[in-house]
Amino acid sequence: MNTRIMVETKDEITRIKALQKEIEQLKKLVVKKDLDELVNDSYLQVAAQKLGYKNVLELKKKLNIKL
């Protein structure tokens, strides 16, 4: 069976840990952004319905919001 040995310096290990931490922060940020977008879309749907528009596109056109 083949054996692989990796030699890493303390600087490399520190850098790897920092990058892993950054990846976790970025993942959380992406999830938060997706949730924020979902909430905003939901608000627009409710607003369109309460204001009597057929759908969100109609409301956006009326308000001149970029699609």
CB 56 within 8 A of CB 48: yes
What's the pLDDT score for residue 25? 98
Dihedral through CA 15, CA 19, CA 20, CA 24, nearest 10?
150
Tell me the C-alpha distance between 64 and 44, whole Å.
Answer: 14
| pLDDT digits 0-9 by tens, 10-50 | 999 999 999 999 999 999 999 999 999 999 999 999 999 99
Confidence class of residue 52 from pLDDT cuts 50, 70 and 90? very high
User: What are the domain boundaries of the chain?
Assistant: 25-59
* pTM to 2 decimal places: 0.64
What's the pLDDT score for residue 67? 54
Q: Give me the mean pLDDT over the 6-13 stretch.
A: 89
